[in-house]
Chain A
Amino acid sequence: MKWLVIFLVSIIVFLTSNICAQDVLKKQFAYAKNLYSNEDYYDAITELKRLLFFDTGCHYTFEAYMLMGKSYKMGGKFSDAILNYTDAELNAKTIQQIYQAKIEIIRTNILRRTTDRALQLLGELEKDKRFAHKANEINYWRGWDFMFADKWDDASKSFSKIDSCKQLKYLAEKVHKDKYSEVFSNLISHFIPGTGQIYTGNYFSGFLSLGWNILWGYVTVNSFAANRIFDGLVELNLLWLRFYNGNIQNAQNFAKEKNLVITNKALNYLQFKYDGLKP
């Protein structure tokens, strides 16, 4: 009887002190979460670091690292965010938590524009049998990854594998169709100077380029025809080829600029008007 009472007292005191300790950690986590909600990311990180430092029983390790990753991400410190998500993954206790951390790493890689790394991680996730039922979500982030990598056709193909993603599929298709081909623009400029610019809608620049090439081509050919070989060579190198090469570079740059406008418009729409999940 005596020993039973002593045992019960010990258990009660031990449990009370442990519950108290956990309660403090719980409050600390709630405090950090509140700071995060109020967009006070710097202080949120400080309090999460404090929580991690005192949480010797690792009760909140996963949650704290995840929230720290989110805080860094919101502050634009993507590399730090990825480091914290990786720590969260290492401290995950369930498969769902591992998946959650991995997806956050992928999303941050997309935002950081390290899209190749994100694609590699998505591939690994897809091969992992534990996440076989997450195919739709994996394809969704792959689509986003392709959009950020400026591969709109691939993005459209990824979104087409998901029934509920028609809006993104059409957007990616439209951007792909609207974009100018840099290769084509470059190629036609080789054959007829100025056509690359005309193809991208820069008519004045295109005709001007054509005019310069005709003029210096004529002068050069005229010199060669009059047996003024040295004059011809100088005119060819210093004048005609200069305008000819400039025309090719110009056509390619115009195509790049136009494509940038098109893709920026699409990304702007995604950032401000798209309601679904974003990286």
Chain B
Amino acid sequence: MKKTIFLILCYSSILIAQSVDKQKEVNLFSPSNIKKFADYLFCSHDYLRAALEYQRYLSTNHNDTVSYKIAIANSKIGNYSKAAKLFTSIDHKSHFFSDAQLEYYKALFQDEDYFELRNDIINADSSNQFLHSPRAKKLFYFSYLFTNDSLPSENQFLSPFDGTDFQRVKDFYNWKEAPPYKSSLVAGILAAIIPGLGKFYVKEYSDGVFAFLATAALGYLSYTDFKAGHDIRGWVFGGVAAGFYAGNIYGSIAAAQIYNVKIQFDFVNSLKIFLNAQDFFIPEIKFCR
């Protein structure tokens, strides 16, 4: 009988212990469950919620992986300035310190704070291997393509790049050094010499043909009206022709400016596409399988 009671007690205690464990498991707001849930959100790309859950977890625990992931989550949702601050707060003893340093520069770059980025790299201690790594250098030199600051020499600029990137980056450098802009002055002068020629210069061929034909036709009408003694009609058509002529000069100057803005926009766009494809030269740590 005693043996039976003993057996029952042992068995019950095991079951109760398991039950207590299960109850702990179903406490949805226990730190371990908060972290599990945050990891799930992070891997589902729900970064804002993940960051909030990680912060909740950090209020009771210290974990450098979680701190790093909060910074990454902020960077992912475009909160670059906050991400940059969070990356700098990663302790130098942490396993993620070197990655956080590089991510910090990536965040500065994405925040378009090129001045701060370059300043930090230039003023860094020469012993700081992270700041003098090829990845940091790539970001450093690439930032010049987004600003109007004078470019470094071609050799210096291209030194950190190699392989397939090299030619592409060289093309970007050459574009930036001598952008294929159209001169507004030349467009205006050409339009004044032959109506429509200014539009041809900025590659608006159909507009050029129309401007030429309209100005020529109205000018001819005015000429024939004066010749036939219809002075009033001659002045009306002459006035309209003059309007077309002046408008075409103005239009050609404006078209040259629009052309320049468009190619500048295309250039910046292709830089961004290239950078995104390269992940800003700083590949992410894969936390999710």
Chain A residues proximal to chain B, CB less than 8 Å: 2, 5-6, 9-10, 13-14, 16-17, 20-21, 24-25, 28, 46, 49-51, 53-54, 230-231, 234
Contact = CB atoms under 8 A, between A and B. Distances in A.
Contacts of B217: 234
Q: How large is the interface on B (under 10, 10 to 19, 20 to 34, 35 or more residues)?
A: 20 to 34
B207 interface: no
A24 B16 contact: no
Contacts of B12: 9, 13
B16 A13 contact: yes
B46 A6 contact: no
18 contacts: A6-B7, A6-B11, A9-B8, A10-B15, A17-B23, A20-B19, A20-B22, A28-B28, A49-B41, A49-B46, A50-B28, A53-B37, A54-B37, A230-B221, A230-B224, A231-B233, A234-B217, A234-B221
Interface string B216-245: 011001001000000001000000000000
B241 to A, nearest CB: 11
B4 interface: yes
A54 B33 contact: yes
Contacts of B40: 53
Contacts of B224: 230
B26 A20 contact: yes
Interface in B6-61: 7-8, 11-12, 15-16, 18-19, 22-23, 25-28, 33, 36-37, 40-41, 46, 49, 52-53
A2 B41 contact: no
Nearest to B224: A230
B49 A49 contact: yes
B185 to A, nearest CB: 31
Contacts of B218: 234
B114 to A, nearest CB: 34
Contacts of A50: 28, 37
Contact of A17 (B19, B28, B46, B221): B19
Contacts of B52: 46
Contacts of B36: 53
Given A24-B27, A50-B37, A230-B221, 16 more contacts: A6-B8, A9-B11, A13-B16, A14-B19, A17-B19, A17-B22, A17-B23, A20-B19, A24-B26, A46-B53, A50-B28, A53-B37, A53-B40, A54-B26, A231-B221, A234-B221
A21 B22 contact: yes
A51 B40 CA distance: 12
B236 to A, nearest CB: 11
A72 to B, nearest CB: 13
B129 to A, nearest CB: 41
Nearest to B14: A13
Contacts of A9: 8, 11-12, 15
Query: In this complex, which of B7, B22, B46 has the most chain A Cβ atoms within 10 angstroms of its Cβ?
Result: B22
Contacts of A14: 15, 19
Contacts of B4: 2, 5
Contact of B23 (A20, A51, A53, A54): A20
A10 B11 CA distance: 8
A2 B11 CA distance: 12
Nearest to B29: A50
Contacts of B15: 9-10, 13-14
Nearest to A9: B12
Contacts of B19: 13-14, 16-17, 20
Contacts of B26: 20-21, 24-25, 54
A17 B8 CA distance: 18
Contacts of B11: 6, 9-10
Contacts of B7: 2, 6
A20 to B, nearest CB: 5
A13 B28 CA distance: 21
Nearest to A27: B28
Closest 4 pairs (CB-CB, A-B): A17-B19, A13-B15, A24-B26, A21-B26
A28 B28 CA distance: 8
Contacts of A20: 19, 22-23, 26
A20 B21 CA distance: 12
Contacts of A51: 28
Nearest to A28: B28
B82 to A, nearest CB: 18
A46 B49 contact: yes
Interface string B173-184: 000000000000
B49 to A, nearest CB: 5
Interface in B85-120: none
Contacts of A6: 7-8, 11
Report which residue of A10, A17, A230, A234 has the largest number of chain B beta carbons within 10 angstroms of its beta carbon: A17
Interface in B166-225: 217-218, 221, 224
A24 B33 CA distance: 13
A13 B20 CA distance: 10
Contacts of B49: 46, 49
A6 B26 CA distance: 26
Contacts of B16: 13
